[in-house]
Amino acid sequence: MRKKLSRATLFLSLLLVLSGLAGLAVSADKPKSKKSAPPAAASPDMKKSKTSDPSKTAPAPAAKKVYLIKIDAPITPVVAEYIIKSIDKASDRKAEALIIQLNTPGGLLESTTDIVMRMIASEVPIVVYVAPSGGRAASAGVFITMAANLAVMAPTTHIGAASPIQLEGKMDETMQRKAMNDTAAWARGIAEKRGRNAGWAEDAVRKAVSATETEALKLKVIDFIAPDVKALVREIDGRTVDVVMGKKTIHTADAVVEELPMGFRYKLLGIISNPNIAYILMILGFYGLYFELSNPGAIFPGVAGAICLILAFYALQTLPINYAGLMLIILGIALFIAEAFITSHGVLGIGGTIAMLLGSVMLIDSSSPALQISWAVIIPAVALSALLFIITVSVAVKVYREKADTGKEGLIGMQALAKTDILADGQVFMRGEYWSAWSDEPISKGDKVTIISVEGLKLKVKKGG
């Protein structure tokens, strides 16, 4: 019964999480409709010409393409790979431009570096459009916007606050100063490369300054303001920009805007890389391994737990992890298990709860709210983990310590009635049956006896009940 209950509990938890992941990814993976220009109406003269001399009919030139991708998430390795692959695809298809619609609270410096390097080396003009209204390009978004050939913002958006975020652990004052100087120099270099306000770019790093779209335009941080993508496409037509191969004039007067959607793979990996999902997968992974170890041969909990842990570790390696936090979570789970075996009057359980709570808070080492685990996830996870482990292990230990009520072991300690005198041989009556019995001491007929061992089909008894 206990094994079935543990299987059912883990199965329902895993099914809920995985179905949610797949649902989120599939729902967002809808095919995008492509815009196409309506065919021009043919004049009578054209019809006549085509009828009289079909050999002179020339194929219509292929429509120019402008590709669009939308980023509405923190900058992580998954997002970086999606942007880089999109730039490669736009280059291969000879697009007029690639528009990156950006709304991000920031992200990892390493991923941002990969994106900026590919943008600088792009053969296709790249336009970064900070949108929609109310959006922002904070932290990592500043570097990506600065690196664009053309930087554009929608009304009521803002940009700025680009102080560096370390990957793991706290830096001392010297290392922090080095990181700050390096990042500030990088921001200034990008701004100078694209002819933007290098002083403001450096202040965004050192002083965490921000600017609205109108302020950014006055400060020459961006090139213009556009209310939507259509207006942006009209505005960039005829502009000449510097790409890796030299000067290039953008022609978008008759261009078709086509969105390059984030495929199922990127969406799924992006969902898994969410700190809250990664944390839940890690906890489920520990659950699965624990149930497998406590119920050897159950198979499903072990397989499910291993899958969850692998997915969790993939996600965690893309995030700024504090390993002290991870060790505290593992310690907390160990204390929960120990609470069921050791009489500590709740000390181990309380210690496990505190360790897991502190570990959960410390797990993601980032000042960016987008990369931190929500309290709405931490509190239920810690509470449920404490209850689940303590109750489950306590029940298991109780069952283990209970006296067996079947087989030979079930007979030991039971009471019987001597039907004859007993010493080397004799007979007792128990549970409506007569049993052969013997004893180390003389026992008289009619005395109550207690069974102390079973040897074959003969009982060893002692006097007394």
Average pLDDT over residues 217-239: 96
pLDDT tens for each residue of 410-463: 677 788 888 888 888 899 888 778 888 989 888 888 888 888 888 877 888 888
- In this prediction, residue 12 carries a pLDDT of 44
State percent of the chain over pLDDT 90. Answer: 35
- Let me know: does 160 contact 191? Beta carbons within 8 Å: no
Say if residue 52's pLDDT is above 60: no
pLDDT score of 226: 97
Superfamily of domain 407-463: Nucleic acid-binding proteins (2.40.50.140)
Average pLDDT over residues 117-142: 95
With the C-alpha atoms ordered 193, 165, 210, 158, is the resulting torsion angle positive or negative? positive
pLDDT confidence of residue 20: 46
| Residue 260 pLDDT greater than 90, yes or no | yes
Return the number of other C-beta atoms located less than 10 Å from residue 200's C-beta.
23
Residue 60 confidence class, pLDDT cut points 50, 70, 90: low
Q: What is the mean pLDDT of residues 112-125?
A: 95
| 164-216: pLDDT as tens digits | 654 444 556 777 788 889 999 999 999 999 999 999 999 999 999 999 999 99
Distance CA 441, CA 45 (A): 128
d(CA 103, CA 271): 17
Return the higher-pLDDT residue of 234 and 6.
234
Task: Output the six-digit token pair for 389.
Answer: 């482990």
Question: 251 versus 423: which is more confidently predicted?
Answer: 251
Instruction: Evaluate if residue 153 carries a pLDDT over 60.
Output: yes
Please tell me the predicted confidence (pLDDT) of residue 123: 95
* Mean pLDDT, rounded, for 5-23: 47
Q: Which of 359, 351, 344, 358 is nearest to 394 (CA)?
A: 344
Task: Give yes or no for residue 244 having a pLDDT over 70.
Answer: yes
What is residue 26's predicted lDDT score, i.e. its pLDDT? 39
What's the rounded Cα separation, in Å, for the pair 21 and 325?
A: 25
Secondary structure letter of residue 364 according to DSSP? B
368-390 average pLDDT score: 80
CATH 3.90.226.10 range(s) for the chain read: 63-262
Q: Please tell me the least confidently modeled range out of 6-10, 407-411, 443-447.
A: 6-10
281-305 average pLDDT score: 81
pLDDT of residue 38: 39
Mean of pLDDT values over 382-398: 73
* Residue-level pLDDT at 405: 54
Confidence of residue 465 (pLDDT cuts 50, 70, 90): low
150-153/224-225 β-pairing: parallel
| CATH 2.40.50.140 domain residues, the chain | 407-463
pLDDT of residue 176: 76
H/E stretch holding 309: helix 300-317
Closest alpha carbon to 84 in 131, 150, 160, 147: 147
Residues 393-419 have a mean pLDDT of: 69
Of the ranges 63-67, 117-121, 289-293, 331-335, which is most confident? 117-121
- Which has the minimum average pLDDT: 233-247, 276-290, 294-308? 294-308
Better-predicted residue by pLDDT, 41 or 319: 319
Main-chain dihedrals φ then ψ at residue 417, nearest 5 degrees:
-120, 125
The tens digit of pLDDT for each residue in 339-354 reads 766 766 667 778 888 8
Largest CA distance in the chain: 130
The alpha-helical segments, DSSP class H, found in 300-374 are 300-317, 323-341, 347-362
Give 400's pLDDT tier (boundaries 50, 70, 90): low
Place of tokens 């554009």: 152
| CATH code that applies to domain 63-262 | 3.90.226.10
Tokens of 419: 């039907």
